[in-house]
Amino acid sequence: MKVVSVNNIPIGGKNPLVLIAGPCVIEGESIVLRIGEKIKKITERLHMPFIFKSSYLKDNRSSAETYQGPGVIEGAKILKKVKQELGVPVISDVHSIEEIKYASEVLDIIQIPAYLSMQTSLVVAAGKTGTVINVKKGQFLHPLDMKSVIGKLEYVGNTNILLTERGSCFGYRTLIVDMRSFPLMRSLGYPIVFDPTHSLRNYGIPSSDSRGGNPELIPSITRAGIAAGCDALFIETHDCLDEALCDAASMLALEHLEPLLETVLEIDAIVRPVISE
């Protein structure tokens, strides 16, 4: 398996499990700095590598009137501030080729959203930056179909690739995490990330509605995903879910993050020697 380095954080192989975490969307500079600082303190206590995540734009909202974020220019400024003040790498999504110029100047990882994972022009343009690329597996794809996405990135000389599992369509609106996905995608040779929070969104119901997600299941499927074998954990979290402007119904309450990480690190210590062979 290839080891992908994000600044001084190696992901994959025998290296420690990495946390990618933060609020769903950038709600303001002070909010993301506050949440980022709290997560950093938790990961420092646990000696766990940490990459901050928050989207400058959520372009797949259920309503045009719903908050989508500050946009790439303002969002990039805020994420740059996070890097400077917290000293951690940052990741966010890109949705169009036009965004890549601004995003690549700040982001340590460029993320391709699941619903855009097969967009050749977007994937190729992101790959050409040379930045680490995290591609979320489309809900509609077989795990081994990610080989074609990898091929597009390798075609432009970028082998700094992460692949994220975030559930597969099971009928309409419902996502199911198929644990076979982890070894299958790992067989493609790149590190695997697991996103349990997006896997538990109930699509068709606004994320502001309490029925829009099943966060009570986050610990269970997270433990299972770590046991199945992944190299990084992607968790959207917030310290005040009642005020969150996006995916409030599926994010993990920040107060529950540390005990969950303590458990998954114990599981990872058991399975890491096996999955890294």
pLDDT of the residue at 47: 98
Find where tokens 């068709």 sit.
Answer: 204
Please, are residues 80 and 106 in contact by the beta-carbon 8 Å criterion? yes
DSSP β-ladder status, 161-165 and 132-136? parallel
Pull the structure tokens for residue 256: 């529950």
Contacts of 30 (CB under 8 A, 6+ apart): none
Q: What total of structural domains would you count in the chain?
A: 1
In this structure, is the dihedral angle defined by the CA atoms of residues 236, 238, 241 and 243, taken in order, positive or negative?
Answer: negative
Mean pLDDT of the region 212-222: 91
d(CA 274, CA 101): 40
Confidence band, pLDDT 50/70/90 cuts, at residue 22: very high
The CATH number of the domain holding residue 8 is: 3.20.20.70
Confidence band, pLDDT 50/70/90 cuts, at residue 107: very high
Count H helices, E strands: the chain? 9, 13
What are the angstrom distances between the C-alpha of 188 and each of 113, 136, 191, 224?
19, 14, 9, 21
Work out the mean pLDDT of the chain and round it to a whole number: 94
- Its pTM stands at 0.96
**Which domain does 71 fall in, by range?**
4-275
